[in-house]
Amino acid sequence: MSEINKKRIAVLVSGSGTNLQSIIDNVENGNLNCEITYVIADRECYSLQRAEKHRIKNLLLDRKIIDNKLANEIIDSTLKESKTDYIVLAGYLSILTEKFIKEWDRKVINIHPSLLPKFGGKGMYGIKVHEAVIKAGEKESGCTVHFVTNEIDAGEIITNVKVPVLEDDTPETLQKRVLEQEHKLLIKGIKKIL
């Protein structure tokens, strides 16, 4: 694919950014034919350092200082100005406003660390997801890439992968095994929508 057809993606983050790193690595090694326009964080986090290290434009819209509505307006205008095509939520913990989601309909995707529709929705993030999976006695879990809609974790599924839950799993060991798969699944999901 030529440079002209190269899609432009932005990545929204709140955490350590191992999924962001997977995107960066796959862009840099040519496996993902796209350009990262921006990394935007809603709090101080290690993801911003990853962006800096790879000379990717980055922006901190600290939720302790800026309210969500204003943050969404800034993200919207920043990403339109930078001619961003798609937005990837990679561990982004703030909720996008209805207006924003309408504006970017089918252009925003998210990765969630369970087999949606199971163990998704409000308050289901991070280690809480894996705690709930183990508590429910599930034999398998997984991760899901989906389009973002106004209903949390309920948008159309783009791709998913199953991960076994082992007898002696703790939420932490399960989280680690799922996260390894997330790094591959996210790339697969991005390729599917591009």
Which residues line the annotated binding site? 17-19, 63, 110
Interatomic CA distance for residues 23 and 38, integer angstroms: 12
Regarding 120 and contact with ligand GRF (CB under 6 A), the answer is no
Site string for ligand GRF, 57-86 (x = CB under 6 A): ------------------------------
Site for ligand GRF (CB under 6 A): which residue of 112, 118, 130, 146? 112
- Asked if 183 and 135 count as a contact pair (C-beta separation under 8 A), the reply is no
Contacts with ligand GRF: how many residues (CB under 6 A)? 13
Neighbour order of strands in the sheet with 140-147: 58-60, 34-41, 7-13, 86-89, 108-112, 140-147, 157-164
Enumerate the active-site residues. 112
Half-sphere exposure of 44 (CA within 13 A, CB side): 2
Regarding 189 and contact with ligand GRF (CB under 6 A), the answer is no
- Site of interaction with ligand GRF (CB under 6 A): 15-20, 90-91, 111-113, 179, 182
